[in-house]
Amino acid sequence: MKPSEDLHQLIKNMSMSEKRYFKIYSTRHVIGHNNNYIHLFDAIDKQNEYDEERIKQYFGKETFVKHLPSEKHYLYNLILDGLNAYHKDRTFLTRYSNLIMNIEILYNKGLFAQCRKLIQKAKKEAYLLEKFSILFLIIRWETLIYIKDEDTKGLYKSFDEELRILEVIRIQSALMRIAFNIQIQIYKGKITTAFLKSQQEEIKKYYPPKKEVNSFWARYYFYSGMGLIYSVQRKYQECFDCFKEINVLMQNTKQFIVDLPHIYHTNHNNMINLLFALKKYDDILPIILHQRAFTTIYKIKNPALNQKVFLNTGESELYLYYKTEEYDKGVITIKRIEPELKKIDIKFSPSLIDLYFMMSVIYLENQDYRGAIKWLNKILNHEKDVNIRRELQINTRLLYLIVLLEKEDLFFDNQYQSVKRFLANEKEFKKQIYYLDIIKILSEQRLNATKLKLLKELIKKSKAENKKVVQESLNPQYDFMQWIEGQLLHKKIN
């Protein structure tokens, strides 16, 4: 059985400050064999790819290596304990887990005045950040204080507060369910006009709610749901306005950005993709620059998020240069980011593959066919290691064909047959099947009337498919139709 790589992945995703803290933490909490764990930690940290056999050889004379799986398991949990201690007061959930524990301790010790003071402090911040599920637990402890004091007025006030919070949570949950239902149906390709109308009617039942039960999450899922509906309807300006409202919501309470940085980052991706759809290219780069800087601005220490931001902004910037035909700037950007790419594990995120694809596009447009093939091969060589979207796998093969055609490579016919076999089992990707047939026809030196007629029919069918609602419609990708129409301009007709 293949050795687990979980420990290696955990260590490689730790920041330098987390690693330093862990080593201090482990000296305080491990007795006797601490050096072994630190040495094992360091040895694994030095490996870019986990190699258990090399670890066994390195520690061949040590007794602990004979039961390495259990030692790895212990070290894994020790690291998690250390990270828990390191982040104890850094996130809302960890802060409030400790606060609720302290409230319970003070209550059980009969220190009710101190308990009440801590409850009021916890409630104030929980209301500010709209953490209603945790607020419900805090109010339950406050209810126990009122019962102990036989404070009837306070008790009824507490009951009313619980009911209001439950109503807030009910509205949030209903809007969340609607938004996710729309998202799921988009993924399944089961969107109809009747479905969209029914979802809009559902949203109207819950939004806008009464002021006293409105919340950040109610607004967030309202704009998310409506944004998805507008994206399906290709009402891109209305969709952009929805995601812009989400951005304003988070900016108004900056702690939401600190506690929910992934949502803030994803929302910026959505706004950028919509600006591409609206062809508002001048508005894009400032958002990309803010996206790159926001973890520093808000002092968010999250290595995994930083890597995701690096990948997404790199892809967005390259796509911008592709759409504005500034291919030289794209090449300069690739040279700048390439050293950092080498440090990222191929399994880290599918976003890495999306970036490889856009790098290939830039090189193709810059007529550097060798560079394009290099990154396309990286995608194809890692298909078994990474969960790559099927559409991206197909587009990679089609782009490879175009590169070979552009450079007049004799390998084109061989590659064409390979792509044809690959697409034989992908009947739902009709647009890409049409593209394949079109590329094959365009590979011929001259077109007769029959071939030209067939080509026009295929182009018409592919454009019709492109109008259908698909999840990929707002993802940055290569414009195959633009390339096809460009080829037609220079094609010789018999």
Residue 79's Cα: distance from chain center in Å?
25
Specify whether the CB–CB gap between 98 and 38 falls below 8 A. no
> Which pLDDT score is estimated for 27?
78
Long-range contacts of 48-53 (CB under 8 A, 24+ apart): 48/345, 49/345, 50/3, 50/5, 50/8, 52/3
Q: CA-CA distance, 11 to 15, in Å (whole number)?
A: 9
N-terminal to C-terminal alpha carbon distance within the chain: 62
Contact 371, 329 (CB under 8 A): no
CA distances from 264 to 31, 132, 225, 259, 492 (A): 43, 20, 16, 10, 51
Total residue length of the chain: 494
The pLDDT assigned to 471 comes to 47
- What pLDDT sits at residue 171? 96
3-class secondary-structure state, position 81: helix
Residue 289 has a pLDDT of: 97
Assess contact for 32 and 101: CB atoms under 8 A.
no
pLDDT at residue 1 in the model: 54
pLDDT (0 to 100) of residue 267:
96
Which has the closest alpha carbon to 199: 169, 228, 219? 228
| Residue 30, pLDDT score | 63
Structural domain boundaries in the chain = 6-86, 92-150, 155-233, 236-295
User: pLDDT value at position 91?
Assistant: 63
| Tokens at 79, concatenated | 């690291």
Residue 440 CA to residue 42 CA, distance in Å, equals 54
- pTM of the predicted structure, to 2 decimals: 0.78
Strands 492-493 and 446-447: parallel
Rg of the chain over Cα atoms, rounded to whole angstroms, equals 28
- Give the per-residue pLDDT at 269: 95
Residue 316 near residue 284 (C-beta atoms within 8 A): yes
- Phi first, then psi: give them for residue 493, nearest 5 degrees: -110, 130
Q: Determine the Cα–Cα distance for residues 447 and 455; give it in Å rounded to an integer.
A: 9
Helix 327-341 to helix 351-365 angle (10° resolution) is 140
State the chain's maximal CA–CA distance in angstroms.
98
DSSP output for 385-403: TS---HHHHHHHHHHHHHH
Please work out, in degrees rounded to the nearest 5, the angle formed at the alpha carbon of residue 240 by the alpha carbons of 234 and 246: 135
The answer to whether residues 136 and 114 touch, using CB atoms and an 8 Å cutoff, is: no
What pLDDT score does 66 carry? 81
- What's the token pair of residue 338? 């390439």
pLDDT score of 35: 66
Question: If we measure between CA atoms, which residue out of 130, 128, 140, 129 comes closest to residue 100?
Answer: 140
The whole-angstrom distance between residue 426's C-alpha and the CA centroid of its chain comes to 26
**Amino acid (one-letter) located at 340:** E
Per-residue pLDDT of the chain (494 residues; tens, 9 = 90+): 567 888 998 998 888 888 988 988 887 766 555 567 888 899 999 988 889 888 888 888 787 878 888 888 889 999 998 888 887 766 666 777 788 889 999 999 999 999 999 999 889 888 888 888 889 899 999 999 999 999 999 999 999 999 999 999 999 999 999 999 999 988 777 788 899 999 999 999 999 999 999 999 999 999 999 999 999 898 999 999 999 999 999 999 888 898 889 999 999 999 999 999 999 999 999 999 999 999 999 999 888 899 999 999 999 999 999 999 999 999 999 999 999 998 888 888 889 999 999 999 999 999 999 999 999 999 999 988 888 888 999 999 999 999 999 999 999 999 999 999 999 988 888 899 999 999 999 998 777 888 888 988 999 998 888 776 544 455 668 999 999 988 887 766 66
Give the CA angle between residues 431, 437, 441 to the nearest 5°: 140
Rounded Cα distance, 424 and 91, in Å: 50
423 vs 412: CA distance, rounded Å = 16
pLDDT of residue 76: 92
